[in-house]
Amino acid sequence: MQSKSEVLASCNLSQEQLDSYWMPYTSNREFKKNPRMIVSAEGKYFTDAGGRKVFDGLSGLWTCGAGHSRPEIAEAVAKQLTSLDYAPSFQFGHPQAFELAHRITEFMPEGLNRVFFTNSGSESVETALKVARAYWRKKGQASKTRFIGRVKGYHGTNWGGISVGGIAPNKTPFGPGLETSHIEHTMLPENKFTKGMPDEGAHLISGLEDMIALYDATNIAAVIVEPMSGSGGVLPPPVGYLKRLREVCTKHNILLIFDEVITGFGRMGSNTGAEEFGVVPDMLTIAKQVTNGAVPMGAMISRQDIYDTFMEHGGAEYLLELAHGYTYSGHPVACAAGLASLDILEKEQLIPRVKSLSPYFEESLHSLKGTQYISDIRNYGFAGGITIEPAPGEPLLRPYQIAMKCWEKGFYVRYGGDTIQLGLPFTIEKEEIDNVINAIGESINELS
Ligand code: PLP
């Protein structure tokens, strides 16, 4: 591994430049002592400042399932940049945004067919929450303002997202947010080392019913969950859980939002988690994989009658039906990247590939059972989570050390809280699956 000064020299960076960047979700002090610089990426591999190839075991940040630096996306983006670099999306349109919106609906479950573009997962969540509240007002039920999220849920970093999110370090530094309540997470001790969907947990939906009894459905706008909780530790939904959730929301006239920023476009082996788990929400949020990570983009996709409600109660036709949107909503370059990415997913049949290879990944991942410090393993599709027992007095040290050891060995995996997370590229080969799993096992063993 290169020393810090070698890294800076090969990147042609000064200490001042290193210090200037306040890095997101990064231990800045530690990183700046030991910078891990990625200088290029192709296919399933990053190249670091020292020229080492590093296997990307998280598809970027669950973004680049089709592999990095895809020429088809680069060409589409370049062409777009030289023909229409930007078009205002307020009161004016450009064809690619409509084309991509419709294309996205083809990946959505039946009934979700109105697409609102954003630039990130956080903005998609914010949009869904705002639409939920405004929808009830349009329906004359303005008291429906409370949101229900889930412990361990991750819904991005904006105020709505951290309010409904259920990961304490993302919330507590920022003080009060929206009125929210949280149902229990599904990580039950009896489900440890379950392959795929755990058997136990559907009963936890009774917690939602208790909450509805406490606050009254007339005060609750929406429930938001990730069909498979990702950043909270990779928690596939228990058998029957999402169906019960849907039934309770329908019964009590509460909107159900699926945050599919990770699970949308193939990660579960289906177009969406909704499709994979057979439950259709009222709104669904996406980002990440929609452009294969190449250009920031997100979207909120809603049921048509939610959209229609805004149109019907929109007042005079020249007025805005929803006073919400972003300067870069439906950005032409993001749309070009999105269209090219979805083409790749389809042409290369990458989503069925995830489905057909996921049993192999499951077996390989679970072969780590019995390795020291591993107290649980979970998986679904091409997502995997490994819980690491805390070191005495240092709860998060071991996952960090394991991820860093993997990096030294030429494998990028993520640690989040007490979990090592894997989000394999959709193009991975069996041998590469085994290599990344072996690297995790070796890294853990070398810690002792
Ligand atoms: N929702 C979920 C489920 C996510 O996993 C993420 C990011 O990982 C977000 C929202 C936020 O997305 P972004 O970082 O693009 O704002």
Domain boundaries, the chain: 36-66+349-447, 73-347
Inter-residue contact 121 to 300 (CB < 8 Å): no
Res 159: pLDDT: 97
* pLDDT tops 90 at residue 340: yes
Res 197: pLDDT: 98
What's the pLDDT tens digit per position in 222-262? 999 999 999 999 999 999 999 999 999 999 999 999 999 99
**For residue 51, with 0-12 CB atoms within 10 Å meaning exposed, 13-18 middle and 19 or more buried, which class applies?**
exposed
Contacts for 438 with CB less than 8 Å, ≥ 6 apart: none
Atom of ligand 1 nearest to the CA of 298: 15
* pTM beyond 0.95, yes or no: yes
Res 395: pLDDT: 86
SS (H, E, C) the chain: CCCHHHHHHHHCCCHHHHHHCCCCCCCHHHHHHCCCCEEEEEECEEEECCCCEEEECCHHHHCCCCCECCHHHHHHHHHHHHHCCCCCCCCCCCHHHHHHHHHHHHHCCCCEEEEEEECCHHHHHHHHHHHHHHHHHHCCCCCCCEEEEECCCCCCCCHHHHHHCCCHHHHHHHCCCCCEEEECCCCCHHHCCCCCCCCCCHHHHHHHHHHHHHHCHHHEEEEEECCCECCCCCECCCCCHHHHHHHHHHHCCCEEEEECCCCCCCCCCCCCHHHHHCCCCCEEEECHHHHCCCCCCEEEEEEHHHHHHHHHCCCCCCCCCCCCCCCCCCCHHHHHHHHHHHHHHHHCCHHHHHHHHHHHHHHHHHCCCCCCCEEEEEEECCEEEEEECCECCECCHHHHHHHHHHHHHCEECEEECCEEEEECCCCCCHHHHHHHHHHHHHHHHHHC
Per-residue confidence band for 350, with pLDDT thresholds at 50, 70 and 90: very high
Res 419: pLDDT: 97
* pLDDT tops 80 at residue 342: yes
Ligand 1 pocket test: which of 261, 286, 289 has the largest number of ligand atoms within 8 Å of its C-beta?
261
**Could you count the other beta carbons within 10 Å of the beta carbon of residue 442?**
15
Cα 120 to ligand 1 centroid, rounded to whole Å: 7
**Which residue has a Cα nearest atom 7 of ligand 1?**
156
* pLDDT tops 80 at residue 10: yes
Rounded to whole angstroms, how far apart are CA atoms 221 and 141?
A: 9
Inter-residue contact 121 to 224 (CB < 8 Å): no
What's the pLDDT tens digit per position in 295-312? 999 999 999 999 999 999
What's the pLDDT tens digit per position in 159-188? 999 999 999 999 999 999 999 999 999 999
Per-residue confidence band for 17, with pLDDT thresholds at 50, 70 and 90: very high
Class of domain 73-347: alpha beta
ipTM for the complex shown: 0.99
Tell me the fold of 36-66+349-447: Aspartate Aminotransferase, domain 1 (3.90.1150)
Average pLDDT across the chain, whole number:
97
Inter-residue contact 419 to 379 (CB < 8 Å): no
* pLDDT tops 80 at residue 448: no
Inter-residue contact 288 to 64 (CB < 8 Å): no
Q: What's the residue count for the chain?
A: 448
Rounded to whole angstroms, how far apart are CA atoms 280 and 295?
A: 28
Atom of ligand 1 nearest to the CA of 121: 12
Q: To the nearest 10°, report the CA torsion of 439, 440, 445, 447.
A: 110
* pLDDT tops 80 at residue 221: yes
Cα 121 to ligand 1 centroid, rounded to whole Å: 4
* pLDDT tops 90 at residue 275: yes
Cα 116 to ligand 1 centroid, rounded to whole Å: 16
Res 324: pLDDT: 98
Tokens representing 219 are: 């005060």
Rounded to whole angstroms, how far apart are CA atoms 155 and 229?
A: 10
What's the pLDDT tens digit per position in 83-109? 999 999 999 999 999 999 999 999 999
Rounded to whole angstroms, how far apart are CA atoms 216 and 304?
A: 26
Ligand 1 pocket test: which of 123, 126, 154, 164 has the largest number of ligand atoms within 8 Å of its C-beta?
154
Inter-residue contact 257 to 284 (CB < 8 Å): yes
Ligand 1: residues with CB < 6 A are 120-122, 125, 154-156, 226, 230-231, 259, 261-262, 287
Rounded to whole angstroms, how far apart are CA atoms 360 and 350?
A: 16
Rounded to whole angstroms, how far apart are CA atoms 383 and 236?
A: 9
Cα 124 to ligand 1 centroid, rounded to whole Å: 9
Rounded to whole angstroms, how far apart are CA atoms 177 and 168?
A: 13
Tokens representing 22 are: 């306040």
Per-residue confidence band for 319, with pLDDT thresholds at 50, 70 and 90: very high
Ligand 1 pocket test: which of 63, 117, 118, 122 has the largest number of ligand atoms within 8 Å of its C-beta?
122
Rounded to whole angstroms, how far apart are CA atoms 302 and 281?
A: 9
Question: What is the Rg, in whole angstroms, of the alpha carbon atoms belonging to the chain?
Answer: 22
What's the pLDDT tens digit per position in 26-64? 999 999 999 999 999 999 999 999 999 999 999 999 999
Rounded to whole angstroms, how far apart are CA atoms 413 and 415?
A: 7
Rounded to whole angstroms, how far apart are CA atoms 358 and 203?
A: 27
Per-residue confidence band for 408, with pLDDT thresholds at 50, 70 and 90: very high
Q: What is the mean pLDDT of residues 141-145?
A: 98
